[in-house]
């Protein structure tokens, strides 16, 4: 499976690493009168993630209105800044992946989720290399978020890892 919607946007970023800072505003959680719906009110942009119960999908503001996404994808999106963060807004609907997983393309990256790996994000040159080298079929889902490694950035996948360092991207498969 190839995820090409963000190849051009991904070229703008050499990778994505976290410096521990956050652009997130404090989130609040409220319950409606029925007690079965939780709404997390995110950043100043008013983005809301709607959780119907512990296992249901969530809702994000997409390019053409609300889109349904896996709750874990919505939680990861909020964790990395939501629509005012590095990734920007969703650029389309959630898509299904192999092994019961899913992914959502954003303006500047992709958040992947699978039952085996949880939700993790990929962007920049690492995403471009991932897409250009077989994507989910070849490397599987990411098993963690991007991490700093020896002066570069690396993302581990089920079937290998992709590292970007000194302007070069290397792919290692298991």
Distance in angstroms (rounded) separating the CA atoms of residues 108 and 10: 6
Structural tokens at position 59: 């809702």
Q: Helix, strand or coil for residue 12? A: coil
Reply yes or no on whether the pLDDT at 15 is more than 80.
no
- pLDDT averaged over every residue in the chain: 76
Range of the domain at 15: 7-173
What are the tens digits of pLDDT across the range 97-143?
A: 999 999 999 999 999 999 999 999 999 999 999 999 999 999 999 99
Whether 1 maps to a domain, the answer reads no
* Under 8 Å between Cβ of 34 and 95: no
Q: Report if residue 118 sits inside a domain.
A: yes
Number of domains in the chain: 1
Q: Are strands 65-70 and 57-62 parallel, antiparallel or unpaired?
A: antiparallel
* Cα distance between residue 69 and residue 50, in whole Å: 10
Check: pTM over 0.75? Answer yes or no: no
Residue 2 belongs to some domain of the structure: no
**Is 45 domain-assigned?**
yes
Spatial distance between the Cα atoms of 114 and 2, rounded to a whole number of angstroms: 16
Token couple for 147: 């991490």
């Amino acid at each position: 499976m190839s995820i090409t919607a963000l190849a051009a946007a991904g070229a703008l970023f050499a990778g994505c690493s976290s410096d521990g800072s956050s652009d997130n505003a404090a989130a609040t959680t409220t319950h409606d009168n029925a007690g079965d719906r939780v709404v997390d009110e995110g950043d100043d942009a008013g983005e809301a993630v709607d959780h119907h119960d512990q296992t249901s999908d969530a809702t994000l503001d997409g390019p053409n209105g609300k889109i349904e996404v896996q709750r874990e994808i919505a939680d990861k999106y909020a964790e990395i800044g939501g629509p005012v963060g590095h990734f920007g807004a969703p650029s389309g609907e959630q898509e299904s992946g192999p092994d019961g997983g899913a992914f959502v393309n954003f303006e500047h990256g992709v958040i992947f989720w699978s039952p085996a790996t949880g939700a993790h994000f990929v962007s920049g040159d690492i995403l471009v290399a991932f897409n250009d080298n077989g994507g989910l079929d070849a490397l599987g889902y990411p098993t963690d978020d991007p991490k700093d490694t020896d002066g570069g950035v690396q993302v581990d996948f089920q079937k290998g890892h992709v590292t970007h360092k000194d302007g070069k991207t290397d792919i290692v498969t298991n």
